[in-house]
Amino acid sequence: MRPRILLHSSYILGRLSKELAAAMAGLAIIQVIFLSMMAPRMAIRVTLYPQPGYVAYPQPPPMMLAPVLGITGFLYAMLTVAMGAQMGLELERGDSALYLSHPISRLSYVASWIIASIFIPSLMFFFSLIIPILILEPHLLLGVGGGEIALILLQVSTSGSIVLLTAALFKKRSLALAVGIFEYLMAPILLTLIAAIITFTTHTTPSAGNMLWIALLYPYNYYMMFGYLGANWMGAAIVNMPVFSMLTALLLAYTRWGFEVK
Amino acid sequence: MDALSFKEVYKRFGATYALHGVTFTIPRKVVAGLLGPNGAGKTTSIKLAVGLLKRNKGEVEVLGFDPWREEVKARMKIGVLHEKPVYPPDVKVSTLLLHLAKLRGSDWREVKRVVGITGLKEYLNIKVKALSRGYLQRLGLAQALLGDPELLLLDEPTANLDPIARMEILELIKNLQKELNVTVIISSHILPELQRVCNYAVFIGAGRILDYGSMGDLASRYGVGAILKIYTVNPRLLASSLVQEEYVEAVEIHDSFLKVRTRPGHWRYVEKKALELGAERVELSTAKLEEMYKAVVKYAA
């Protein structure tokens, strides 16, 4: 018999297969379009000064991954948030009582949702990005490009675990969705504003080091914002990883000891 | 070992106690009614028995397992039909049942077995949202029967059904107990319905147990009239003798047995008399649940 976690996560994925397939197709199409534009012969920079013209790159620089990661990363994050909120819907509506009346533990039930809403979308995102890169421009994966991908995976997974924790605690889909959207979209803007105000009022020059706290929840944003000041992707990942692990551990501990289904 | 036992169980939602020191046992192989008005704590008791809720204090044991700590072991042995069950609307009946069967380590053969019992064979390829209320309840019974459970917990199984669907479901439950020989616990506030199926009762009100026991014991304890099923080779002859007894209210003659309605508190006497007069076997068919309920509530007050 297959472990119940795998049985239930594949059942969840089966139920949401249409949405997942659409998201996968969307991600793949966008990524192929963008990455095709980065093929060496097409990778150009338009220049206006001193003369209008263009510079052709022999190889695209890793920073050219930024637009593709920005757009597809957003879709990937929204997919993770929406799927995590689905657990809130199940708990709110009462379907969960049906599954949990059969021999699946509370821990396996929530772990199935972690797999279905965080792990699988991350794999989808990773492979939909990695396959066209490997075909079109493998060197983008080396150095900074690979780090950016790792950071966005970590950042979205952290958001996913926050959404699942909210869904488990409050058993409301709308709340889980609102928290997810706020955490991924609104909070970074607020944090950037706070960072700007602190910098402005204290008359300090922002540095990658003293802004590292942003990487606690947003390692990718931190790296994109302060990369020019020498921010290190590995450092951002190291700062974020304990937060992600702690959130996941908190979710599992709550599930084991206090998770009730009405 | 009992099918279900609660020992001094407390369950609180916020500041409100849903269960207040609840203690009762239900032995194996009975059809037990968990009886009480709305808000008495019936559903909370069932959810504690399944391990969906965590008790604040006390002990709950289902077939020897603690349903909160040993949830998988306990749920392996029980089937549950919840009050107002919710099913994923866009899933086919077959997909849902097969998934639940797999969680129990079973396969497609088990799905075929339960849809055969519950009359859902023709509906396997239909989406759950297309089922009528009656058939949704059959789906509920089908999923509860997966894995051949030793204990069936049915929470208000006839709630929100039209009279025909209600009759069908009750008939199905009656047959289930006969054919599968499982312990069945039915929670309901509609007493006449349970009259037909129960031989054990737990009375609950405002989160406290009023009394519990077999119908016979309760009928004796509270002096409530009962209906006896008396098996004999010559029903007519026995009927003519019994009808003269002062504690017999009415006699109904069948091919191989009699149905005898007794006066409150005297079914033991009639049982003894029937055996003296040559009856082969006497079964307490039912006690009058409504009368019993009134007596229990009055006594508890």
B121 and B233 in a single domain? The answer is: no
Q: What is the pLDDT of residues B12-42, one digit of tens each?
A: 999 999 999 999 999 998 999 999 888 899 9
How many CB atoms lie under 10 A from the CB of residue B195?
18
Q: How many domains are there within chain B? A: 2
Q: Do the Cβ atoms of A64 and A144 come closer than 8 Å?
A: no
Nearest-CA distance A82 → chain B (Å): 17
Looking at the fold, whether B119 and B45 belong to one and the same domain comes out as: yes
Cβ-Cβ contacts under 8 Å between A and B: the total is: 77
Average pLDDT over residues B163-192: 83
Q: Are residues B131 and B269 in the same domain?
A: no
At B247 the pLDDT is 86
Q: How far off is chain A from B207, nearest CA to CA, in Å?
A: 17
| Same domain for B177 and B64 | yes
Q: pLDDT 10s per residue in chain A (262 long)?
A: 678 999 999 999 998 888 888 887 887 788 777 777 665 544 556 677 777 776 665 555 555 667 777 888 888 999 999 999 999 999 999 999 999 999 999 999 999 999 999 999 999 888 888 887 777 666 666 655 688 889 999 999 999 999 999 999 999 999 999 999 999 999 999 988 888 888 888 887 778 888 899 999 999 999 988 888 888 889 999 999 999 999 999 999 999 999 999 8
In a domain, A154, yes or no: yes
Strands B4-13 and B57-62: what pairing? antiparallel
Average pLDDT over residues B263-291: 83
Same domain membership, residue B65 and residue B35 = yes
Q: How far is B172 from B245, CA to CA, in rounded Å?
A: 37
Q: Are strands B226-231 and B257-262 parallel, antiparallel or unpaired?
A: antiparallel
Min Cα distance A169 → chain B (Å) is 14
CA distance A64 to B276: 99
| Final residue belonging to a domain, choices B158, B187, B215 | B215
Long-range contacts, A191-199 (Cβ 8 Å, 24+): A191/A218, A192/A221, A192/A225
| Strand order from edge to edge, sheet including B31-35 | B78-81, B151-155, B183-188, B31-35, B200-205, B208-214
Question: Computed from CA positions of residues A181, A183, A185, A189, in that sequence, does the dihedral angle turn out positive or negative?
Answer: positive
Quick one: pLDDT band at residue B106, thresholds 50, 70, 90? Answer: very high
What pLDDT does residue A42 have?
45
Given B183, B215, B247, the domain boundary residue is B215
How confident is the model over B205-214, as a mean pLDDT? 92
Over residues B244-267, the pLDDT tens digits come to 888 888 899 998 899 898 887 788
Residue after which a domain boundary falls, among B215, B246, B264: B215
Q: Are residues B41 and B188 in the same domain?
A: yes
Please state, in angstroms and rounded to a whole number, the distance separating the CA atoms of residues B177 and B249. 29
Q: How far is CA A176 from the centre of its chain?
A: 16
Query: Is B295:B220 a contact under the CB 8 Å cutoff?
Result: no
pTM of the model: 0.86
Taking the Cβ of residue B114 and every Cβ of chain A, the question of whether any pair is shorter than 8 Å is answered with: no
Q: Token pair of A160, please?
A: 């996913």
Closest CB to A101 among B82, B84, B95: B82
| Number of independent structural domains in chain A | 1
- From B153's Cα to the closest Cα of chain A, the distance in A is 10
Tell me, what's the pLDDT at B217? Answer: 85
Which residues of chain A are at the B interface, by a Cβ-Cβ cutoff of 8 Å?
Answer: 1-2, 4, 7-8, 11, 14-15, 93-95, 97-106, 258, 260-262
Between B167 and A67, the higher pLDDT residue: B167
B143 touches chain A (CB under 8 A): yes
Q: Which residue has the tokens 């009405």?
A: A262
Q: Is residue A137 part of a domain?
A: yes
A262 and B47 within 8 Å at the Cβ level: the answer is yes
- In this structure, how many other beta carbons lie within 10 angstroms of the beta carbon of residue B89? 12
Whether the CB-CB separation of B167 and B183 falls below 8 Å is answered with: no
φ, ψ for residue A258 (rounded to 5)? -135, 5
More confident of the two residues B95 and B270 = B95
CATH at residue B231: 3.30.70.920
CB–CB contact B52 A97 (8 Å):
yes
How far is residue B137 from each of residues A37, B26, B50, B64, measured CA to CA in Å? 57, 25, 19, 29
Q: Which of B87, B95, B104 sits opposite A102 (nearest CB)?
A: B104
Q: Is B84's Cβ below 8 Å from some Cβ in A?
A: yes
- Look at residue A22 and tell me if it is in a domain: yes
Cβ-based contacts of B79 with chain A (< 8 Å)? 101
B176 shares a domain with B134: yes
**Rounded distance, CA B5 to CA B66, Å?**
10
Half-sphere exposure of A258 (CA within 13 A, CB side): 8
β-strand pairing of B151-155 with B183-188: parallel
Do B145 and B281 fall within a single domain? no
Contacts A99 to B, Cβ<8 Å: 100, 103
Q: How confident is residue B125, by pLDDT bands cut at 50, 70 and 90?
A: very high
Is the CB of A15 less than 8 angstroms away from the CB of B88? yes
Question: Taking CB atoms and an 8 Å limit, are A4 and B146 in contact across chains?
Answer: no
For residue A209, the enclosing domain spans: 4-257
Query: Domain of B55?
Result: 4-215
Beta bridge partners of B152: B79, B184
Question: Other C-beta atoms within 10 Å of A165: how many?
Answer: 21
What is the per-residue pLDDT across B46-77, written as a single tens digit (0 to 9) for each? 999 999 999 999 999 999 999 999 999 999 99
| Of B267, B35, B57, B67, nearest in space to B156 by CA | B35
User: What string of DSSP letters covers A117-137?
Assistant: IIIHHHHHHHHHHHHHHHHH-
A11 contacts in chain B (CB < 8 Å):
99
CB contact under 8 A, B103 and A97: no
Mean per-residue pLDDT over chain B, rounded: 90
| B241 in the same domain as B184 | no
**Tens digit of each residue's pLDDT (9 = 90 or more) over B111-120:** 999 999 888 9
Which pLDDT does position B172 carry in this prediction?
81
| Residues with Cβ within 8 Å of residue B208, at least 6 apart in sequence | B20, B21, B22, B41
